[in-house]
Amino acid sequence: MKRAMIPLLLLLAVPALAAEHGAAGDSKKGGKPGTNVDMPYLMAPLTDADGKLIGYAYISTRLTAASEGVVVAVREKLPFIQDSFVRNVNATRVTTADDPQKVDIPAMEARLLADARKVMGANKVKQITVCTVQIAELRPKQTPALHTPPEKAPTSGEAPKNPVQSRCQT
């Protein structure tokens, strides 16, 4: 009976070790397992050049703690970190200067990282990753009528402005 248990335990341990070693070095995916904390969505207002509200950006982020031991402290301070994030995205524009519907992801990550480090301490937070951005226009453009043939329907040849897939997916 004991001899049968040893191979079973090894089979269960190998996938866990492989997952930990595979994700440790990839900065796009975050830190090693057990150090990532998915943050609640942020709802950032989008304004045009005149300061008029045109919509909202729903931004999902992930905080990567410096170690597994710090994650508990991060989870305890999560409301304070989130409050800091909400104040940040409402005080300063989240979009690029040239396009009011394109979120400036590198700038957002740097700003949110600074906020998280103010709350937790500089050596406890490794990085913030913006996972997804979803834009909800205040007054979306109308879609073509149902009876319009597909060849006459307007097409958008533009590339997506914000990430289409989550940057936090493995």
Which residue did the predictor score with more confidence, 88 or 14? 88
pLDDT confidence of residue 166: 77
pLDDT confidence of residue 33: 76
Kindly report the length of the chain.
170
Classify burial at 95, counting beta carbons within 10 Å of its beta carbon; exposed 0-12, middle 13-18, buried 19 or more.
buried
Helix/strand/coil for 20: helix
Q: Give φ, ψ of 27 to 5 degrees.
A: -75, -25
pLDDT confidence of residue 150: 52
- Listed residue (43, 12, 26, 22) closest to 129, CA to CA: 26
Beta carbons within 10 angstroms of residue 167's beta carbon: 18
What is the model's pTM? 0.70
Whether residue 14 has pLDDT greater than 50: no
Mean confidence (pLDDT) of the chain? 79
Least confident of 2-16, 112-126, 132-146, 150-164: 2-16
pLDDT digits (tens, 9 = 90+) for 30-58: 677 789 999 999 999 999 888 899 999 99
Q: What integer is the mean pLDDT of 88-115?
A: 94
Q: CA 23, 88, 55 angle in degrees (round to 5)? A: 95
Q: CA 35, 28, 20 angle in degrees (round to 5)? A: 45
pLDDT confidence of residue 1: 55
Helix/strand/coil for 14: helix
- Listed residue (54, 44, 48, 28) closest to 168, CA to CA: 28
User: Across the strands, what pairs with 129?
Assistant: 62
User: Which residues contact residue 31 at a Cβ distance below 8 angstroms, ignoring those fewer than 6 apart?
Assistant: 23, 24, 64, 65, 126, 127
Least confident of 27-31, 57-61, 136-140: 27-31
pLDDT digits (tens, 9 = 90+) for 21-36: 433 344 455 677 789 9
pLDDT confidence of residue 18: 37
The DSSP element (H or E) to which 38 belongs, if any, is strand 36-38
Whether residue 156 has pLDDT greater than 80: no
